[in-house]
Structure 1
Amino acid sequence: MYNFLGKVRKATRSLGNAPFDDEKTISAIEKATEEAKVKYKQLRKVKNRSLEKHKDGVGSSNT
């Protein structure tokens, strides 16, 4: 979650001192949100895969 907020801050900060533009800000926040969703899904897949490997109590990390 912290990383997501950082991306939103970075996206809005990259707009600089330009006049505030709602459309630009909204699109920057939406882009950061989509990137965060993709990253979260990737992390969940990795975590679920590692849980499946060790579900029965045996197995190694390279199976």
Structure 2
Amino acid sequence: MDDLSSKYLTQMIERDHTYSVLELAGHLPYTVMDVISEANRLGYSFDNLMQDPNRVMIVKE
């Protein structure tokens, strides 16, 4: 994921409180798996990760 998209992803999570990976992927030119990978790299945790990838939620600790 490019730096600008990564910053936008962080902004959406931190400021806009958007936690659905599917919703985040809809705002970016990346797949759900790309968003999961980048959010993981940024240190976020997930809920429902082993179930349906489209229902994965980012968990802020």
Which structure has the larger Rg? Answer: 1
The structure showing larger relative contact order (alpha-carbon pairs under 8 Å, at least 6 residues apart) is 2
TM value normalised by structure 2: 0.31
